[in-house]
């Protein structure tokens, strides 16, 4: 069974793209007594080799990304509020009135907008665009704010981690869950030698995975992820994409990858609940890994997650356990061929 206390530590860590240090420290502290080799490359990827009971003919890379979506400070206004830009894909609807943490000192703030009594009737009906918003940290003016904040500081959602009745609600399930699965694999007795990549900057263009795949030079890869579940009341049929409670998600294709057809069949044959995405949507580090060097046979196994890229993503513990089983099964089948 997965360590959900560790998942809480991973999710509560603040690590938007380019600021992955907190998660990297947790990962290394958890695996240092189990891994045979650990390397941190120039981008900040953690590359790991773990010996198994046998050395396979093929080199398998299991990959998960350490970063989360977030924001970055772009300006400090004369009144002490902060202008910001998104780091990764965040919908405007997920931002307004949210509590956030700013900078390494994790200064508390709230995302504000024009007060309702100053808004026109038309403005009240619309979601305020992100570029119209500011973050209020309670500073008196720019000089006061500069005592705590600098341009370029990271910003993350400030939200609790809840694990109740088989459901987890938290920020950053994408992809701290994938990191949790890789840590569990490294701590376990592996049937074959395997390579692992805890990679950076997925949310802004799969950048860490590109470097990691080039370095490891694998023959095959399994990307462990969280993916969008839209099984909500106002979505029907295929627009639901995948279902929370429906098991591990294995895709034929997304916007960055056409997955290996044989590996898809292997993953779907695992003795646990599995499902397929019903829309061609999203993407992940497989998009960079599968076309590295002379090509890498790749599959992605994901946990379905509602409200992804928000302050409060929702996923099922049963689905998480299914993902772990599918990843273990698929890795062993691939390497035993």
> Distance between CA 65 and CA 326 in Å, rounded?
18
CA proximity to 63, closest of 229, 225, 240, 264: 225
Confidence at residue 66, expressed as pLDDT on a 0 to 100 scale? 98
What string of DSSP letters covers 44-87? --EEEEE--SB--SS-EEEEEE--B-EEEEEEE-TTS-EEEEEE
283-331 tens-digit pLDDT: 999 999 999 999 999 999 999 999 999 999 999 999 999 999 999 999 9
Q: Work out the average pLDDT over 132-158.
A: 96
Q: What CATH number does the domain located at 70-157 have?
A: 2.40.30.40
Is residue 202 flagged as an active site residue? yes
188-231 tens-digit pLDDT: 999 999 999 999 999 999 999 999 999 999 999 999 999 999 88
Give the neighbor-by-neighbor strand order of the sheet with 162-164.
162-164, 167-170, 313-316
The answer to whether the beta carbons of residues 67 and 17 sit under 8 Å apart is yes
> From the candidates 8, 68, 202, 203, which is the catalytic residue?
202
CATH 3.40.630.10 range(s) for the chain read: 4-68+171-336
The answer to whether the beta carbons of residues 211 and 316 sit under 8 Å apart is no
> Distance between CA 24 and CA 31 in Å, rounded?
11
Q: What CATH number does the domain located at 4-68+171-336 have?
A: 3.40.630.10
pTM for the structure as a whole: 0.95
CATH 2.40.30.40 range(s) for the chain read: 70-157
């Amino acid at each position: 069974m997965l360590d959900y206390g560790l998942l809480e530590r991973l999710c509560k860590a603040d690590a938007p793209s380019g600021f992955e240090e907190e998660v990297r420290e947790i990962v290394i502290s958890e695996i240092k007594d189990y891994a045979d080799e650990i390397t941190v490359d120039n981008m900040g990827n953690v590359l790991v080799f773990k010996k198994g009971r046998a050395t396979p003919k093929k080199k398998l890379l299991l990959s998960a990304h350490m970063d989360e979506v977030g924001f970055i400070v772009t300006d400090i206004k004369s009144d002490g509020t902060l202008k910001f830009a998104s780091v990764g894909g965040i919908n405007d609807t997920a931002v307004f009135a949210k509590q956030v943490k700013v900078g390494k000192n994790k200064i508390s703030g709230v995302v504000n907008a024009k007060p309702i009594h100053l808004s026109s009737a038309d403005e009240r009906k619309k979601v305020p665009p992100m570029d119209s918003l500011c973050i209020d940290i309670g500073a008196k003016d720019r000089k006061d704010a500069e005592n705590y904040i600098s341009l370029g500081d990271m910003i993350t959602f400030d939200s609790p981690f809840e694990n109740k009745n088989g459901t987890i609600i938290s920020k950053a399930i994408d992809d701290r869950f994938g990191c949790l699965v890789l840590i569990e694999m490294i701590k376990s007795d592996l049937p074959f030698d395997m390579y692992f990549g805890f990679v950076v900057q997925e949310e802004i263009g799969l950048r860490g995975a590109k470097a990691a795949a080039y370095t490891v030079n694998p023959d095959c890869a399994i990307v462990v992820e969280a993916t969008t579940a839209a099984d909500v009341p106002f979505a029907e049929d295929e627009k639901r994409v995948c279902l929370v409670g429906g098991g591990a998600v294995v895709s034929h294709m997304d916007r960055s990858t056409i997955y290996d057809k044989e590996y898809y069949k292997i993953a779907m044959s695992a003795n646990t609940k599995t499902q397929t995405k019903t829309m061609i949507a999203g993407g992940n580090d497989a998009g960079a890994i599968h076309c590295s060097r002379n090509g890498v046979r790749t599959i992605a196994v994901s946990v379905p997650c509602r409200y992804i890229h928000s302050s409060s993503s929702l996923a099922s513990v049963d689905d998480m356990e299914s993902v772990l089983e599918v990843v273990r099964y698929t890795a062993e089948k691939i390497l035993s061929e």
